């Protein structure tokens, strides 16, 4: 990714989540902000704030009066009231505010409840094993581009009932939306139009041939006795794709990155499989991939900061997860951390609707990877790259497996 | 000893029924619900404490 913007010198007054320093290792930056600020500001992106403590992140997440979710991905294109159709928003329910939010969320939650999600375990395990089989007996495999990224994309493709051969295209949609912080309005619109045409085609196919999947579920769903508007259906599909893929992919790849560098943790997981549930929560705390965004809904003072309507707020759940006020030895990865009130899936009414699925995918992916490769290391640590923007995870991850 | 969920605070984070399925279940929306009357036998006391200590929303309390 090319950087034409000036590098950040002081993250307290000029932070940028796309700055190379933040992308490669944000944790010391957040620690510094917690002690110095704790709310950072930047004039970039048209003006944005970044609360770095658990307490303040929590306060923003739970305050739907002063902060709106109508746009949750911070970019240079700050949307106006007209751009974002209230109350639906462009990707309900994540971009919806109360009271519509509760209606849109109630609609999708049953499809992601633990009962429904747990039934997917065998197919997730089969998917992981077919990816591992595809790697053959290579000495170096790519934990990111050959394994982690294809797990959520395969699960979501099956869930939406879209053609298997479109998998590479789904990945591109996700990358277009999330890794294009600095792209132009024209590029964004062209991409959005192309994606919309694709979704309309898949919807038509489901109208003609209804089946037991999430797309047909949305087409049959009703609000107040009427079917959903087409924009609502497409918005929720886009959300499923964007929120369900590179998030989980990032959690899986970062966890593998950790295990490749920490042989003691790897050995414990291999030898004590009963540790897995607790370990998964620590992976989620320590490598929480997702930072959300809000827009300030009205001028107000927040912890001494004069927030103006339409300022961005970057909602750093990963930073909250490293706050020593809440977590003992917050900067230490403790694989058997029994008390772990992490907020990787957010807090409040927008808690990640897919959290049960994400957790299951992460657990099964690690289980199957370490079963296949009980010892592994990084082939070359300096080759590992991390994604820029609001979803952080290892992307290029060459792993030496023998 | 008894576990209680504050339904207004619960957002379905899923930690309680993950840690202590003997004490907690989930509803159709994935929100946590207490099983039965919520009474905790001594052998489940530690699991109840962990469920409380892991809820990100602070939605669980233990009544002695």
Q: What's the mean pLDDT in A179-204?
A: 83
State the Rg of chain A over Cα: 21
Decide if A348 and B57 are in contact by the 8 Å CB cutoff.
yes
Residue of chain B nearest A117, judged by CA positions: B30
Decide if B13 and A340 are in contact by the 8 Å CB cutoff.
no
Tell me the per-residue pLDDT of A226-259, one tens digit each, with 9 for 90 and over.
Answer: 999 898 899 899 889 888 999 999 999 999 999 9
Residue of chain B nearest A111, judged by CA positions: B29
Tell me the per-residue pLDDT of A69-88, one tens digit each, with 9 for 90 and over.
Answer: 988 889 887 776 656 665 66
Q: What whole-number distance in Å separates Cα of residue A302 and Cα of residue A371?
A: 49
* B56 to A53, A179, A317: CA distances (angstroms): 15, 29, 12
CB proximity list for B8: less than 8 A, separation 6 or greater: none
**What is residue B42's DSSP assignment?**
G
- Report yes or no: A345 at the B interface, CB cutoff 8 Å: yes
**pLDDT of A90 higher than 80:** no
Q: What's the mean pLDDT in A19-30?
A: 96
Q: What whole-number distance in Å separates Cα of residue A220 and Cα of residue A233?
A: 10
In SS3 terms, chain A reads as CCCCCCCCCCHHHHCCCCCHHHHHCCHHHHHHHHHHCCEEEECHHHCEEEECCHHHHHHHHHCCCCEECCCCCCCCCCCCHHHCCCCCCCCCCCCCCCCHHHHHHHHHHHHHCHHHHHCCHHHHHHHHHHHHHHCCCCCEEEHHHHHHCHHHHHHHHHHHCCCHHHHHHHHHHHHHHHCCCCCCHHHHHHHHHHHHHHHHHHHHHHHHCCCCCHHHHHHHCEECCEECCHHHHHHHHHHHHHHHHHHHHHHHHHHHHHHHHCHHHHHHHHHCHHHHHHHHHHHHHHCCCECEEEEECCCEEECCEEECCCCEEEECHHHHCCCCCCCCCCCCCCCCCCCCCCCCCCCHHHCCCCHHHHHHHHHHHHHHHHHHCCCCEECCHHHCCECCCCECCECCCEEECC
Residue A81 confidence (pLDDT) = 64
Residue A1 confidence (pLDDT) = 47
For residue A347, the chain B residues in CB contact (below 8 A) are: 11, 56-57
Report the gap between the CA of A109 and the closest CA in chain B (Å). 5
Is the pTM higher than 0.80? The answer reads: yes
CB proximity list for A204: less than 8 A, separation 6 or greater: none
Which region among A228-237, A251-260, B11-20, B43-52 has the lowest average model confidence (pLDDT)?
A228-237
Decide if B12 and A342 are in contact by the 8 Å CB cutoff.
no
Q: For chain A, give the percent of residues with pLDDT over 70.
A: 96
Contacts with B, A 97-156, CB within 8 Å = 106, 109-110, 112-115
More confidently predicted of A230 and B16: B16
Residue in B19, B29, B50 closest to A113 by CB? B29
Q: What's the mean pLDDT in A55-61?
A: 98
Decide if A114 and B54 are in contact by the 8 Å CB cutoff.
no
Residue A182 confidence (pLDDT) = 67
CB proximity list for A1: less than 8 A, separation 6 or greater: A18, A179, A388
Average pLDDT of chain A?
Answer: 93
Residue in B14, B30, B54 closest to A339 by CB? B54
pLDDT band at A5 (very low <50, low <70, confident <90, very high): confident
Decide if A339 and B30 are in contact by the 8 Å CB cutoff.
no
Q: How many CB atoms lie within 10 A of CB B18?
A: 19
Provide the ipTM. Answer: 0.98
More confidently predicted of A73 and A324: A324
Q: What's the mean pLDDT in A338-342?
A: 98
Q: What's the mean pLDDT in B49-57?
A: 98
Which region among A26-30, A150-154, A226-230, A365-369 has the lowest average model confidence (pLDDT)?
A226-230
Helix locations, chain B, DSSP H: 15-19, 45-54
**pLDDT of A192 higher than 90:** no
DSSP symbols for B1-14: -EEEE-TTT-----
Task: Give me the count of residues in chain B.
Answer: 64
Most confident of the following: A87-101, A233-247, B25-39: B25-39
Q: What's the mean pLDDT in A5-12?
A: 95
Assess whether the previous peptide bond of A87 is cis (omega < 30° from 0): yes
For residue B17, the chain A residues in CB contact (below 8 A) are: 114
**pLDDT of A185 higher than 90:** no
Can you count the helices (H) and strands (E) in chain B?
A: 2, 4
**pLDDT of A313 higher than 50:** yes
Q: What's the mean pLDDT in A310-328?
A: 97
**pLDDT of A2 higher than 80:** no
First vs last Cα of chain A: how many Å apart?
32
For residue A327, the chain B residues in CB contact (below 8 A) are: none
pLDDT band at A223 (very low <50, low <70, confident <90, very high): confident
Q: Which residues partner with A41 through β-bridges?
A: A49
For residue B30, the chain A residues in CB contact (below 8 A) are: 109, 112-114, 356
Residue A200 confidence (pLDDT) = 95
Q: What's the mean pLDDT in A169-180?
A: 77
Q: Specify whether the CB–CB gap between A350 and A86 falls below 8 A.
A: no
């Amino acid at each position: 990714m090319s950087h034409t913007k000036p590098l950040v010198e002081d993250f307290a007054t000029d932070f940028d989540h796309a700055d190379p320093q933040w992308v490669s290792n944000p944790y010391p930056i957040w620690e510094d902000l917690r002690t110095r600020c704790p709310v950072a500001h930047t004039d970039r992106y048209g003006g944005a704030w970044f609360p770095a403590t658990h307490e303040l992140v929590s306060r923003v997440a739970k305050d739907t009066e002063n902060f709106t979710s109508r746009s949750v991905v911070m970019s240079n294109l700050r949307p106006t009231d007209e751009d974002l159709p209230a109350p639906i928003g462009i990707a309900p329910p994540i971009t919806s505010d109360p009271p519509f939010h509760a209606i849109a969320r109630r609609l999708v939650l049953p499809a992601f409840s633990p009962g429904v999600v747990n039934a997917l375990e065998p197919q997730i395990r089969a998917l992981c094993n077919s990816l591992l089989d595809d790697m053959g007996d290579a000495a170096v495999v790519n934990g990111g581009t050959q394994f982690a990224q294809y797990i959520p994309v395969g699960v979501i493709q099956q869930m939406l009932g879209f053609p298997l051969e479109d998998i590479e295209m789904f990945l591109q949609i996700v990358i277009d939306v999330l890794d294009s912080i600095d792209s132009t309005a024209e590029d964004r619109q062209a991409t959005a139009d192309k994606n919309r045409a694709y979704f309309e085609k898949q919807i038509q196919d489901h109208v003609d041939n209804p089946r037991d999947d999430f797309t047909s579920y949305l087409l049959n769903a009703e609000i107040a006795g009427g079917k959903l508007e087409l924009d609502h259906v497409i918005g929720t599909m886009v959300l499923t794709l964007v929120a369900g893929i590179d998030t989980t992919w990032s959690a899986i790849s970062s966890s593998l990155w950790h295990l490749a560098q920490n042989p003691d943790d790897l050995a414990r997981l291999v030898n004590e499989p009963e540790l897995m549930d607790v370990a998964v929560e620590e992976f989620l705390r320590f490598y929480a991939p997702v930072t959300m965004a809000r827009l300030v809904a009205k001028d107000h003072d927040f912890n001494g900061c004069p927030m103006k309507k339409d300022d961005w707020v970057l909602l750093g759940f990963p930073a909250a997860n490293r706050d020593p006020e809440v977590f003992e030895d917050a900067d230490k990865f403790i694989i058997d951390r029994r008390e772990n009130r992490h907020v990787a899936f957010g807090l409040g009414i927008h808690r990640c609707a897919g959290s049960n699925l994400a957790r299951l995918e992460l657990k099964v992916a690690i289980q199957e990877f370490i079963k296949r490769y009980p010892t592994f290391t990084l082939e070359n640590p300096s080759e590992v790259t991390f994604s820029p923007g609001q979803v952080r995870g290892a992307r290029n991850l060459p792993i030496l497996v023998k | 000893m008894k576990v209680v969920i504050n339904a207004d605070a619960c957002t379905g984070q899923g930690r309680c029924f993950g840690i202590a399925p003997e004490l907690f279940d989930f509803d159709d929306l994935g929100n946590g619900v207490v099983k039965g009357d919520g009474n905790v036998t001594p052998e489940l006391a530690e699991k109840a404490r962990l469920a409380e200590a892991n809820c990100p929303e602070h939605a669980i309390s233990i009544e002695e």
